[in-house]
Copies of this chain bind each other. A is one copy, B any other.
Amino acid sequence: MKEDPRLIATRETALEAAQNILLEQGVLSLTHGAVSKLTGISRSTLYRHWPDVEALRDATFKRVSTPPNIAPQTNGPLRADLFWLLSILMGALNETPWGRVAPQVIAAAATDPDARLVITDFMKDRFAAVEAIFDAAKERGEIAPDRAVQHLIEIAISVPYFRKLVLDKPLNDDWLRAHVDMVASLAEQ
């Protein structure tokens, strides 16, 4: 009843290679053939694991995206919490493959529901983390309890991600501090 260790081994090595291909050459080059060449795993085996390219792409997307499931720090003050969280998120974007793969998944999401789901899940997770921070700030009385925060959350998340993923501009601490300052000052109004 246990899972055959060969299955696991093949899956792991294949997907890791797939991830690298995705990073270095883009979605268009992510094929069974390419993975086979890179790993030595035979094409037929790869096809048995993922019946077509779309399945292979989806599996790779999913593997790369796996949300760290951030448990945000909510001790306050608001600015500190936000800065901390966004630092983590942006750090992940800079230091893990996800930063370079995300645009590919976003593009795929236009025609591929599985890819869309990966993005949606990912973003939902981020939004929830920021929301938790705002909620905590409300509890502490830092911001008005009836302050509508949906839009603030959207700003907090969208701007840095857009800056990195679309504009391809750097995200250093100074910039991030200024950004957090904007969001917090809106919240405190």
Contacts and interface: CB of A to CB of B under 8 A. Distances in A.
Interface in A110-130: 110-111, 116, 119, 123
A161 B103 CA distance: 14
A55 interface: no
Secondary structure dominating the interface of A: helix
In this complex, the member of A26, A28, A166, A178 whose beta carbon has the largest number of chain B beta carbons within 10 angstroms is: A166
Number of copies: 2
Assign chain A's interface to a size class: 35 or more
A25 B165 CA distance: 23
Contact of A161 (B28, B109, B166): B166
22 contacts: A25-B111, A26-B111, A27-B27, A103-B103, A103-B106, A104-B107, A104-B110, A106-B165, A106-B166, A107-B107, A116-B168, A119-B167, A123-B167, A151-B179, A151-B182, A152-B182, A155-B159, A158-B167, A159-B159, A161-B166, A185-B186, A186-B186
